[in-house]
Structure 1
Amino acid sequence: MDVLIHLFVALHIIGIAALLGGFLTQMKAMGQGTARFVPGMLHGALTMLVTGAVLVGLHQAEGHSVNNIKIGVKLAVLVVVLGLVYVKRDEEKVDKGLFGLVGALTAANIFIAVLWT
């Protein structure tokens, strides 16, 4: 079971890398007002959602305690990010503030995962 958990943790990290990487590659365009949500950002957010749900299930199946409040906060942040990226994915330009919000929420989700014990 540990191998399976480690596999899904790796996939979860790949998802966050795709989401954050997509944001970082558009930083210069954000400064010029031409940033857009690239497909990798949507796929990364979806990967995070699916692998996160699987990880919670695997941890509970092994009898480990899960901090449901932390998972709920992370899920809420991810759902907001996923909703914003999904709704605005076809637009040629995204408002700077909205694009920055997605980056900030993504970073917040990382800090919640790492720092909240």
Structure 2
Amino acid sequence: MDVLISVFVGLHIIGIAALLGGFLSQMKAMGAGTARFVPGMLHGALTMLVTGVALVGFREMDGGGLNHIKIGVKLAVLFVVLALVYVKRDEERIEKGLFGAVGGLTIANIFIALLWH
């Protein structure tokens, strides 16, 4: 079970990297007002959702303790990010505030995972 959990943690990190990498690659375009949600951002958010839900299930099956409030907050933040990226994925230009919100919420989700014990 430990190997399976480690594989899914790795996949979860890859999803975070895709979402955050897509955001960071558009920072210059955001300054110019031409930023858009690239497909990798949507795929990264979906990867985070699927692997995160799987990790919760694996931890529950393994008998490990979970902070369900923390998981709920992370899931809510991810749903907001996923909804924004999904709805606006075909638009040529995304407003700076909306684009920045996706990046900020992604970074917030990372720090929630790391700092909330």
How does the TM-score come out when normalised to structure 1? 1.00
Structure 1 unaligned regions, length at least 5: none
One-letter identity of the residue aligned with 1:26: Q
Task: Say if 2:88 is the partner of 1:102.
Answer: no
The alignment of Structure 1 onto Structure 2 pairs a total of residues equal to 117
| Post-superposition offset of 1:113 | 0.3
Task: Say if 2:78 is the partner of 1:54.
Answer: no
Per the alignment, residue 83 of structure 2 pairs with 83
Per the alignment, residue 8 of structure 1 pairs with 8
One-letter identity of the residue aligned with 1:59: R
Whole-angstrom distance in 1 between the partners of 2:63 and 2:7 = 19
Per the alignment, residue 66 of structure 1 pairs with 66
How many percent identity over aligned positions? 78
| Post-superposition offset of 1:65 | 0.9
Whole-angstrom distance in 1 between the partners of 2:111 and 2:62 = 25
Structure 1 runs, 4 residues or longer, greater than 4 Å off: none
How does the TM-score come out when normalised to structure 2? 1.00
Whole-angstrom distance in 1 between the partners of 2:67 and 2:51 = 17
User: For the aligned residues, what is the CA RMSD?
Assistant: 0.2
Whole-angstrom distance in 1 between the partners of 2:49 and 2:17 = 13
Structure 2 unaligned regions, length at least 5: none
Whole-angstrom distance in 1 between the partners of 2:62 and 2:4 = 12
